[in-house]
């Protein structure tokens, strides 16, 4: 068996945390099997990134470089991954589950006559073969399985192992040549809210989940969407947390109702949203099952504030449920953090 | 003028409790055939975006290619048919989460290739970027590869046709951002995320027009022998950890706030 770890460099030429985590998982996996592994890197100039992980234990470092590989584009990424897998004669291929790799991995497996599995949350060696775990039905049930087809390509989710750390050195990277046909697609840029409005912060310790309750009539008979918006934004600014939302709250915006303008579908957690990874989570004004179960499947410590003492969804899912008015509590929290 | 093919199937209603069981050909859901089913949400967004695009480009046509158990497809189509105009191609087989994406993709690609007069140069192959069942985000790429389409986009929230006919596409990437790409034109694969359109209201007239094609399509649905492929499942389980939730009532907001701040600041 020969394992290949594939990664792409970031805009600054380094490897992202997700890549170093997947590398660490690959190192452990290869050690458990007692087989060697190679590293394949793509990017504008991936040589320095290869040197930065020179001591990871890989027997070979292969690179594909050039301006075309600085862009996350299906045609060029799939061709590069295919070429690296062939050059390494890999039977098991691991990649970090970045949007860039998730886009191409199944297609690459098809070209190689292999199979791909995405969103892998566990990788182990059983009877000399890989055994993987992943979630099905939107993080509702977890399965462990093996496959007989090779190569087997695996996209490893963030948090699968602590990020690899080690000394830099000289990787003696081998360049793999690849000529591409003229691309039909070009990446022209990125769209993001202005940085003071960017509410999604994947690296934050805390995920702050807001529910539709923030827009509901309160005990004094008033709807206080403006105040809710200020409290939420102040808290995000003071705590540097990442903002998640329930579907109900995000959807309100589409129906012409007064709504929190900084929320979009990208904030939505749950079945039809995301399942982000953070050490802590605080849910406020949520009643739905989704934010409490699927939405924080990968959240470590969890607390919730709701007026509803019987919120069945928080029970068994949160460590602590505060039965209280989130407006009053978050106002005080902001005062203390300010 | 576009040929827009949307691949999408059905999933159990997300609010149902799901329980895995071991079936004759691998894992399955308890009472799978009894669970109320829906059009897979992200595939639904793809369908509404496709219909909207077709409405703005006269002469375009939307196909919905569904692989699922025939009886269930018929139920789900009763609602879906009322949303937007499309022609159905149905394949009779398992839409369960434990089927292998490679097998599903092979069956879908065969069905698409068999569409008479299919012109790749007009083709936009759409679907959800992930299903709510397998959640792999793999099927569309595999269908695309089988049809030879190498301009592929996933997590798409917006598609704009530029005056020169090129496609301007926004895809979700890390950190709450969108990557903006321009592709010279079809063919392309678009795995949709939420897009920008609300779910269309039921329109009985659209429903009646659609049903004229849907019933025959369901009748001639070919069996598709899709299964778990080369996978051997060793375990499938529900998460067992339930937390011993401490319910704190009657604490003044000041104290809760102090408690929370200490927790937020702790390592
Ligand atoms: C196909 C489908 C897909 C779905 N996907 C998702 C998904 O991805 N993500 C998702 O989140 N949902 C999803 N849902 C919806 C989900 O089932 C719930 O309807 C939704 O999560 C409920 O949202 P909520 O908790 O914000 O709102 P509500 O149910 O309206 O709850 C509001 C809560 O706020 C509390 N509240 C009000 N005021 C205060 C206050 N001052 N202080 C404290 N608490 C207060 C109330 O007591 C109540 O408990 C999906 C549903 C379907 C059908």
CATH number of the domain encompassing residue B209: 3.40.50.620
Number of domains observed in the structure of chain B: 1
Q: How far is B93 from chain A (nearest CA, A)?
A: 18
Confidence (pLDDT) at A252: 85
The answer, yes or no, to whether the previous bond of B187 is cis (omega within 30 of 0) is yes
Low-confidence ranges of chain A (pLDDT < 70): 196, 254-258
Domains A3-175 and A195-337 share a fold: yes
What does DSSP say about strands A92-96 and A3-8: parallel, antiparallel, or unpaired?
parallel
Give the whole-angstrom CA distance, residue A11 versus residue A16.
10
- For the record, the structure tokens of B181 come out as 């790409």
Confidence (pLDDT) at A257: 56
Number of Cβ within 10 Å of residue A210's Cβ equals 31
- Structural domain for B8, as ranges: 3-223
A329–B247 CB contact, under 8 Å: no
Contacts of residues A279-282 at CB distance under 8 Å and 24 or more positions apart, as own/partner, are: A279/A205, A279/A206, A280/A205, A280/A206, A280/A207, A280/B263, A280/B264, A281/A206, A281/A207, A281/A208, A281/A209, A281/A244, A282/A206, A282/A207, A282/A208, A282/A209, A282/A241, A282/B260, A282/B264
Strand partners, A6: A40
pLDDT, one tens digit for every residue, chain B (267 residues):
999 999 999 999 877 889 999 988 899 999 999 999 999 999 999 999 999 999 999 999 999 999 999 999 999 999 999 999 999 999 999 999 999 999 999 999 999 999 999 999 999 999 999 999 999 999 999 999 999 999 999 999 999 999 999 999 999 999 889 999 999 999 999 999 999 998 999 999 999 999 999 999 999 999 999 999 999 999 999 987 789 999 999 999 999 999 999 999 998
Confidence (pLDDT) at B24: 86
Q: Is position B239 within any domain?
A: no
What pLDDT, in 10s, does the model give residues A256-284?
A: 555 888 898 899 999 888 999 999 999 99
Give the whole-angstrom CA distance, residue B112 versus residue A73.
25
Residue ranges of the domains in chain A? 3-175, 195-337
Contacts of B219 (CB under 8 A, 6+ apart): none
Nearest CA to ligand 1 atom 18: A288
B173–A115 CB contact, under 8 Å: no
pTM beyond cutoff 0.90? yes
> A195-337 has which CATH code?
3.40.50.1220
CATH of A3-175, one of 3.30.43.10, 3.40.50.620, 3.20.20.70, 3.40.50.300: 3.40.50.620
Q: Is position B206 within any domain?
A: yes
Distance A210 CA to ligand 1 centre (A): 9
Q: Is position B111 within any domain?
A: yes
Give the torsion through C-alpha atoms of B148, B149, B150, B155, to 10 deg.
Answer: -140
Going by C-alpha positions, the residue among B78, B193, B218, B69 that lies closest to residue B127 is B193
* Nearest-by-Cβ selection for A119 from B135, B170, B194: B135
Q: Is position B261 within any domain?
A: no
Confidence (pLDDT) at A40: 98
Confidence (pLDDT) at A255: 57
Is the interface score ipTM higher than 0.90? yes
Partners of residue B187 in chain A, C-beta under 8 Å: none
Q: Is the separation of the CB atoms in A153 and A30 below 8 Å?
A: no
DSSP A87-113: HHT-SEEEEE--HHHHHHHHHHHHHTT
Confidence (pLDDT) at A253: 72
Residues 276-315 of A with CB under 8 A from B: 280, 282, 289-290, 297, 301-303, 305, 309, 314-315
The CB of A290 under 6 Å from ligand 1? The reply is: yes
Interface residue of B157, B257, B265 to substitute, partner A, most A CBs within 10 Å: B257
Q: Is B60 exposed, middle or buried (0-12, 13-18, 19+ CB in 10 A)?
A: middle
Confidence (pLDDT) at A254: 64
Give the whole-angstrom CA distance, residue A281 versus residue A207.
5
Distance A291 CA to ligand 1 centre (A): 8
Number of Cβ within 10 Å of residue A126's Cβ equals 13
DSSP A210-225: E-GGGGS--TTS---H
Place of tokens 């390592």: B267
Q: Is position B260 within any domain?
A: no
B242–A320 CB contact, under 8 Å: no
Q: Is position B244 within any domain?
A: no
Strand partners, A117: A154
Partners of residue B141 in chain A, C-beta under 8 Å: 103-107, 110
Partners of residue B155 in chain A, C-beta under 8 Å: 99
Confidence (pLDDT) at B15: 79
């Amino acid at each position: 068996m020969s394992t290949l770890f594939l990664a792409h460099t970031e805009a600054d030429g380094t490897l992202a945390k997700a890549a170093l985590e997947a590398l660490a998982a690959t190192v452990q996996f290869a050690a458990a099997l007692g087989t060697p592994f190679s590293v394949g890197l793509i990017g504008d100039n991936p040589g320095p990134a290869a040197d930065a992980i020179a001591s990871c234990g890989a027997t070979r470092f292969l690179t594909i470089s050039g301006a075309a590989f600085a862009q996350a584009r299906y045609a060029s990424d799939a061709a590069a991954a295919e070429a690296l897998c062939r050059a390494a004669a890999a039977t098991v291929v691991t990649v970090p589950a970045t949007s860039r790799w998730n886009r191409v991995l199944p297609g690459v497996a098809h070209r190689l006559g292999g199979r791909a599995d995405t969103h892998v949350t566990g990788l182990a060696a059983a009877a000399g073969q890989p055994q993987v775990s992943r979630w099905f039905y939107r993080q509702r049930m977890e399965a462990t399985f093996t496959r007989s087809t090779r190569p087997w390509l695996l996209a490893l989710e963030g948090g699968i192992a602590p990020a690899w750390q080690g000394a830099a050195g000289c990787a003696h990277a081998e360049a793999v040549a690849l000529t591409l046909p003229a691309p039909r697609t070009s990446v022209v840029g990125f769209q993001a809210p202005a940085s003071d409005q960017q509410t999604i912060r994947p690296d934050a310790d805390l995920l702050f989940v807001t529910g539709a309750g923030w827009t509901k009539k309160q005990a004094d008979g008033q709807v206080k969407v403006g105040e809710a918006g200020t409290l939420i934004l102040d808290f995000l600014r003071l705590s540097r947390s990442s903002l998640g939302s329930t579907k109900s709250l995000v959807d309100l915006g589409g129906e012409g109702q007064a709504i929190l303008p900084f929320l979009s579908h990208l904030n939505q957690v749950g079945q039809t949203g995301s399942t982000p990874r953070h050490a802590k989570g605080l849910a406020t004004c949520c009643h739905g099952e989704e934010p409490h179960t699927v939405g924080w499947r990968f959240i470590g410590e969890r607390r919730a504030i709701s007026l509803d003492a019987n919120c069945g969804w928080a029970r068994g899912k949160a460590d602590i449920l505060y039965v209280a008015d989130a407006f009053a509590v978050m106002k005080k929290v902001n005062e203390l953090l300010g | 003028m576009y040929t827009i093919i949307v691949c999408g199937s059905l999933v159990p209603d997300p609010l149902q409790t799901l329980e895995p069981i071991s079936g004759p050909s691998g894992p399955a859901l308890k009472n799978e055939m009894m669970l109320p089913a829906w059009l897979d949400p992200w595939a639904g967004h793809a369908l509404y975006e496709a219909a909207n695009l077709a409405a703005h480009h006269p002469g375009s046509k939307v196909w919905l290619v569904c692989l699922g158990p025939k009886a269930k497809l018929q139920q789900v189509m009763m609602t879906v048919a009322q949303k937007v105009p499309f022609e159905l191609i149905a394949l009779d087989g398992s839409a369960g989460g434990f089927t292998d994406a490679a097998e599903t993709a092979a069956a879908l690609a065969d069905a698409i290739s068999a569409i008479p007069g299919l012109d790749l140069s007009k083709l936009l192959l759409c679907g959800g970027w992930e299903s709510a069942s397998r959640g792999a985000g793999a099927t569309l790429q595999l269908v695309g590869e089988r049809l030879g389409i190498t301009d592929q986009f996933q997590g798409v929230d917006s598609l704009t046709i530029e005056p020169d006919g090129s496609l301007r596409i926004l895809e979700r990437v890390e950190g709450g951002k969108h990557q903006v790409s321009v592709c010279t034109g079809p063919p392309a694969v678009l795995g949709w995320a939420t897009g920008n359109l609300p779910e269309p209201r039921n329109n009985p007239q659209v429903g009646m027009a659609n049903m004229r094609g849907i019933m025959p399509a369901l009748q001639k649905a070919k069996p598709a022998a899709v299964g778990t492929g080369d996978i051997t499942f060793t375990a499938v389980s529900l998460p067992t950890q339930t937390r011993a939730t401490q319910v704190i009532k009657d604490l003044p907001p000041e104290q809760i706030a102090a408690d929370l701040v200490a927790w937020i600041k702790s390592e």
